[in-house]
Copies of this chain bind each other. A is one copy, B any other.
Amino acid sequence: MTTATMTRPEKVAMNGVDVPTLIGTVAFVGDNPEAAKFQFRAKGEWISGTHSRGTVNGYFGAGGEQSHSKEFVVEADHPAVLCGADNAPTPVEYLLTGLAACITAGIGNIASARQIELTSVRTSVEGDIDLRGLLGLNDTVRNGFNAIRVKVTVEGSADATKLAAVVQQSVARSAVFDMLSNGTDVTVEVA
């Protein structure tokens, strides 16, 4: 055993994360910035009323066209109280679930990279919205959520301070948290 391996033991897979491969992937992208350019995509079609069906499959990344393991279907609708048919979650609820999922995935990766075994990660998200904005009843009211609050509870093989630090690092690196906090450039074209 070399000194290097004695002082810095190799990290092992845990929490369902192949940690050596994850570390290798990050190092590869660091050496190959072109591999970091990704484009994610979705297609959607209207079904009836406020009900639509989205599909997700192909994306660009790691230097080429990629596909998911299968085509994923994401339906959305408005609830009955808003004159929808309530066939599926509302579009804004997908932002809440997407935010929770992004932070949770980051916790999975970061805890594993820090060799902390997770036993439980639970999230609770709520968003406040005044519908007078999107209904066009008051121009001083915004269309979207005024505020989104996330609560995260993590249990695992580290003390509360280290577990909280994993959550904080996940939020600091979350793509969805960034976009919902800071916005991004969105263009809509009628084709």
Contacts of A21 in B (CB 8 A): 83
Q: Give A6 Cβ to nearest chain B Cβ, in Å.
A: 27
Cβ 8 A contact of A46, one of B95, B104, B150: B104
Contacts of A143 in B (CB 8 A): 173-175, 177-178
Q: Which residues 144-191 of A sit at the B interface, judged by CB distance below 8 A? A: 144-154, 163-164, 167-168, 171, 173-191
Q: Which residue of B lies closest to A48 (CB)?
A: B16
Q: A16-B49, A94-B74, A173-B136 are in contact. Are A188 and B25 (CB under 8 A)?
A: no
Contacts of A83 in B (CB 8 A): 17-18, 21-22, 25, 109
Q: How far is the CA of A101 from the CA of B173 in the complex (A)?
A: 26
Give the secondary structure class of A's interface: mixed
Q: Does A116 contact B (CB under 8 A)?
A: no
Contact A186 B95 (CB under 8 A): no
Contact B100 A175 (CB under 8 A): no
Q: Which residue of B lies closest to A109 (CB)?
A: B50
Contacts of A189 in B (CB 8 A): 149-152
Q: Which residue of B lies closest to A74 (CB)?
A: B97
Query: What are 30 inter-chain pairs, A to B, with CB distance below 8 A?
Result: A15-B49, A21-B83, A25-B83, A36-B135, A37-B131, A40-B145, A41-B93, A42-B93, A42-B96, A42-B124, A45-B104, A45-B120, A48-B108, A52-B101, A61-B82, A68-B79, A72-B88, A72-B93, A78-B105, A92-B176, A129-B175, A134-B173, A142-B178, A143-B175, A146-B185, A149-B187, A151-B191, A152-B188, A164-B190, A167-B190
Residues on A lying within 8 angstroms of B by beta carbon are 15-18, 21-22, 25-26, 29-30, 33, 36-52, 54, 56, 59, 61-62, 66, 68-69, 72, 74, 76-109, 112, 118, 120-138, 142-154, 163-164, 167-168, 171, 173-191
